[in-house]
């Protein structure tokens, strides 16, 4: 099977392409290259590569492709708030453009990386399911992810099948490591400073999932029978995978003995809080999605890498591991224009 991965040179995409190749897929990547300078360690990315912004992707880019896994996006809430019109342009209109082009080219499966952030503010006494629970997106990133899901499903037909996965907050080691996501940040803080800084009051809930397990979910979208997944959305996580921010900090402290937890309180109480049910993916896709990583295993792997590689606070606080800082750097240098297009 020929698979095209958009956003293949990012945090998740670099791992996903490796796993796809190991499973024997023919892999093509489509990526604009924002994070090419953010590689922490050598990683074989020798696949057929298209350097393209998804906003300008055309049917020719998807020629001879059987399935698409669409990751490309402005990838978190702070980056999404950089310019609300850009978030609309890339995450929503860019996704629709990519899907239309793929459909025109004859792609059969379009696997979409959505987000649980669409649940936003929720009753944490209940675990949220994919189909019945309310969507309360509170950021541009969350809203455009939800609207893109809806638009993609409207495009689907008997020849073009859409499958949506809503990952929990991702953690774990990658050559394009991000430290602007909560558990990675906590572990990196503990390793470089001995302190785990919590900027909220620690009470919000965050479902989590390892980067390799997320990739396995996307691959399940390729391999499960089409009647099992077509038109469906799946929360992606691990059993008992809902944690408070305080519990995530405690887990980071466990993998970095001697570190201390500090509450800065600079963000006050974070209103975004939700607990998510993973019953659907664990039952419907039980033969295709089998997560293997927990916080302890993923945290220990990162700690080992940080210590062997000489990872420092400059890495943590710099642009290499922070997506918003990297985009701002490219823009300030004049390499990207106001529309985040290359100059």
Q: Is 309 among the domain residues?
A: no
For tokens 């492709």, the residue is 65
- pLDDT of 321: 96
Q: How many domains does the chain have?
A: 1
- pLDDT of 251: 98
Cα(first)–Cα(last) distance of the chain, in Å? 35
Q: Is 10 among the domain residues?
A: yes
Integer-rounded Cα Rg, in Å, for the chain is: 19
Nearest 5°: phi and psi at 143?
A: -65, -45
pLDDT tens for residues 201-224? 899 999 999 999 999 999 999 999
Going by the DSSP 8-state scheme, the letter that residue 88 receives in this structure is I
Q: Is 202 among the domain residues?
A: no
What's the pTM?
0.95
Question: CA-CA distance, 158 to 106, in Å (whole number)?
Answer: 12
Q: For residue 216, what is the domain's CATH number?
A: 3.40.50.720
CA angle (216, 299, 165) in 5-degree steps: 25
Q: Is 74 among the domain residues?
A: yes
- pLDDT of 121: 79
Per-residue pLDDT band at 269 (split at 50, 70, 90): low
Q: Is 89 among the domain residues?
A: yes
Q: Do strands 48-51 and 26-31 pair parallel, antiparallel, or not at all (unpaired)?
A: parallel
Q: Is 253 among the domain residues?
A: no
Indicate whether 69 pLDDT > 80: yes
Question: CA-CA distance, 162 to 69, in Å (whole number)?
Answer: 10
pLDDT tens for residues 94-131? 999 999 999 999 999 999 999 999 998 777 788 999 99
Per-residue pLDDT band at 75 (split at 50, 70, 90): confident
pLDDT tens for residues 169-211? 999 999 999 999 999 999 999 999 999 999 888 999 999 999 9
Q: Is 67 among the domain residues?
A: yes
Quote the domain boundaries for residue 93.
Answer: 2-177+208-240+273-293
């Amino acid at each position: 099977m020929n698979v095209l991965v958009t956003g293949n040179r990012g945090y998740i995409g670099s791992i996903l392409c490796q796993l796809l190749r190991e499973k024997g897929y023919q892999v093509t990547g489509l990526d604009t290259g924002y994070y090419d300078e953010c590689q922490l360690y050598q990683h074989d990315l020798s696949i057929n590569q298209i350097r393209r912004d998804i906003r300008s992707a055309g049917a020719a880019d998807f020629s001879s492709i059987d399935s698409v896994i669409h990751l490309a996006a402005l990838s978190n809430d702070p980056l999404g708030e950089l310019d609300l019109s850009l978030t609309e342009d890339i995450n929503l209109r860019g996704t629709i453009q990519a899907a239309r082009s793929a459909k025109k080219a004859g792609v059969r499966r379009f696997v979409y990386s959505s987000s649980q952030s669409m649940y936003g503010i929720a009753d944490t006494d209940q675990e949220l399911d994919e189909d019945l629970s309310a969507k309360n997106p509170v950021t541009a990133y969350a809203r455009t992810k939800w609207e893109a899901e809806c638009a993609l499903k409207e495009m689907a037909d008997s020849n073009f099948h859409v499958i949506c996965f809503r990952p929990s907050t991702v953690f774990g080691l990658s050559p394009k490591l991000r430290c602007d996501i909560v558990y990675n940040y906590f572990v990196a803080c503990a390793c470089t400073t001995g302190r785990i800084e919590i900027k909220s009051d620690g009470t919000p809930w965050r479902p989590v999932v390892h980067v390799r397990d997320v990739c396995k979910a996307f691959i399940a979208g390729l391999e499960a029978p089409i009647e099992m997944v077509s038109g469906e959305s799946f929360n992606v996580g691990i059993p008992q995978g809902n944690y408070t921010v305080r519990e995530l900090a405690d887990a980071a402290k466990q993998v970095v003995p001697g570190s201390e937890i500090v509450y800065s309180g600079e963000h006050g109480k974070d209103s975004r809080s939700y607990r998510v049910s993973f019953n659907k993916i664990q039952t419907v896709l039980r033969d295709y999605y089998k997560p293997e990583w927990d916080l302890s295993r993923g945290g220990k792997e990162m700690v080992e890498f940080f210590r062997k590689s000489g990872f420092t606070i400059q890495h943590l606080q710099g642009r290499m591991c922070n997506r918003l800082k990297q985009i701002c750097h490219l823009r300030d240098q004049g390499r990207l224009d106001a529309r985040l297009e290359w100059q």
